[in-house]
Amino acid sequence: MAAPCVSVLMPVSNGARYLEEAIQSILQQTFSDFEFIIINDGSTDGTAGIIDRYRLNDSRIRIYEQPHQGLVPALNHGLEMARGVYIARMDADDVSLPHRLAVQVEFMDSQPAVGVCGTWIETYGRDRPEIRRYPCQDGMIRSSLLFESVLAHPSVMIRRDMLHRHALLYDAGAPCAEDYDLWVRAAQHSLLGNVPHVLLRYRVHEHQIVNQYGAEKRATAQKIRLRQLHSLGVVPEEREMKLHEALASWQMMPTKDFILDAHAWLMKLMSANQMTHIYPTEAFQRTLGCRWDAVCAPATHLGLWTWNTFRRSRLQASSGLSWKEHLKFGVKCGIRRKQYA
C-alpha cells in the first residue's frame, strides 16, 4: 500500500461526547490523500464503538487500542505508526474546517525549511467565540516561545522526516505542556510557521486537560521558559522569574512598581539577546515591544506618568502601535489623570 501524503494523528480517551464531530471533520476534508490514525487510550465509554463504526466505512482509518497510559505515550505511538510525509495533529473534541489539510499541505510543500506549521483557531463552546491570531513568521514565533506557546497543538502539521532526523518525540517529562516543549526543541532544527487563516475550531469545555491540570501545566511551562532563559544567558532571580511568569500569562499589574520592574526585565532580555544572538534581533524587539505595550495599557489611570514612561522607552518603537493608537493612548492617559486627580 502506497504511503499517504498526510497522517492525521488523534488520540482519544473517553471522548465519546464530541468524537463523532471530530472524526467527520477529518473524513470530510477536501484533501483526501491521508491516513487517519486514532489511538484509543483505554476508553471505557462509547469511544471504541464510535471509532469502529466509522472504520467499517472508511479504510483510511487506522486504530490502535492501548490500556490507559496517558496522552504522551499515545502521541508517541501514533508518531511511530505514521507513514505520511506530514503528520497533522487533531484532538477528539475539536473540528477541522474542510480545507484545513489542503491549505497546510500547500504551505508545507512551498516552504521546505518549515518543520512545524500551525494555524489560527476559533474558540467556541463554553465562552464567547474568539479568534486567536498567532504570529506567522518564524522569528516572531521562536521569540514568542520565550513567553508562551504560539502554535495551537491540534492545528499543527509536522514534517515527519524532521522528527525522525533529529529523534524528536513528545517528552513525558513535560506533562500537560508536551507540545510547548516539542516546539522549543523543534525550533533548534527547523523553521516554524503559522497559516494566517482560521482552519480549526477549538472547543472550550470543562473536561479539558488544561482545566483539570492547570497547576501542573503552569509548572511545566515555567520550566520550559526557564530553560530558554538559560540558553539566552539569563539566570533569573526568584522575583525576576515571577515577573517573567506574569508577563508570559499577560497578568499585568497596573502599578508604577510593576511597570518599572517589567521594563528593567524586558531591557535585560534585550541586552542578553544582543550578546548571544539567540533570537532574530528585529523579531525579538517586536516581541518585547508588544509585552511593553501590554504592561502599560492597563495603567492609564496613572495619567501622563504612564504615557511618558511608555514613550521614553526604547521598547515603544517596537510595540507595533500605529501613530493613531499612540495618540489614543496618550489622550486616554490624560483623561484618566483628570478623573483620578
User: Residue 209 — very low, low, confident or very high, per pLDDT cuts 50/70/90?
Assistant: low
Nearest in space to 192 (alpha carbons), one of 72, 291, 283, 272: 283
pLDDT at 292 over 60: yes
User: Which pLDDT does position 341 carry in this prediction?
Assistant: 39
pLDDT at 303 over 70: yes
Percent of the chain with pLDDT over 70: 96
User: Angle CA(33)–CA(39)–CA(40) in degrees, nearest 5?
Assistant: 135
What's the whole-number mean pLDDT along residues 273-283? 97
Q: What is the pLDDT of residues 226-248, one digit of tens each?
A: 999 999 999 999 999 999 999 99
User: Which pLDDT does position 325 carry in this prediction?
Assistant: 85
Nearest in space to 99 (alpha carbons), one of 45, 165, 184, 26: 26
User: Residue 266 — very low, low, confident or very high, per pLDDT cuts 50/70/90?
Assistant: very high
Q: Calculate helix-pair angle for 214-231, 238-248, nearest 10 degrees.
A: 110
What would the 3-class secondary structure string for the chain be?
CCCCCEEEEEEECCCHHHHHHHHHHHHCCCCCCEEEEEEEECCCCCHHHHHHHHHCCCCCEEEEEECCCCHHHHHHHHHHHCCCCEEEECCCCCEECCCHHHHHHHHHHHCCCEEEEEEEEEEEECCCCEEECCCCCHHHHHHHCCCCCCCCHHHCEEEHHHHHHCCCCCCCCCCCCHHHHHHHHHCCCCEEEEEEEEEEEEEECCCCHHHHCHHHHHHHHHHHHHHHHHHCCCCCCHHHHHHHHHHHCCCCCCCHHHHHHHHHHHHHHHHHHHHHCCCCHHHHHHHHHHHHHHHHHHHHHHCHHHHHHHHHCHHHHHCCCCHHHHHHHHHHHHHHHHHHC
To which residue does cell 513528545 refer? 170
pLDDT at 334 over 90: no
pLDDT at 173 over 70: yes
- Whether this prediction's pTM lies above 0.75 is answered by yes
Architecture of the 6-214 domain = Alpha-Beta Complex (3.90)
User: Which pLDDT does position 217 carry in this prediction?
Assistant: 93
Q: Using an 8 Å Cβ cutoff, are 286 and 292 in contact?
A: no
To which residue does cell 509585552 refer? 291
What's the whole-number mean pLDDT along residues 67-88? 97
User: Which pLDDT does position 340 carry in this prediction?
Assistant: 43
User: Residue 82 — very low, low, confident or very high, per pLDDT cuts 50/70/90?
Assistant: very high
What's the whole-number mean pLDDT along residues 91-96? 97
- Structural domain spans, the chain: 6-214, 232-340
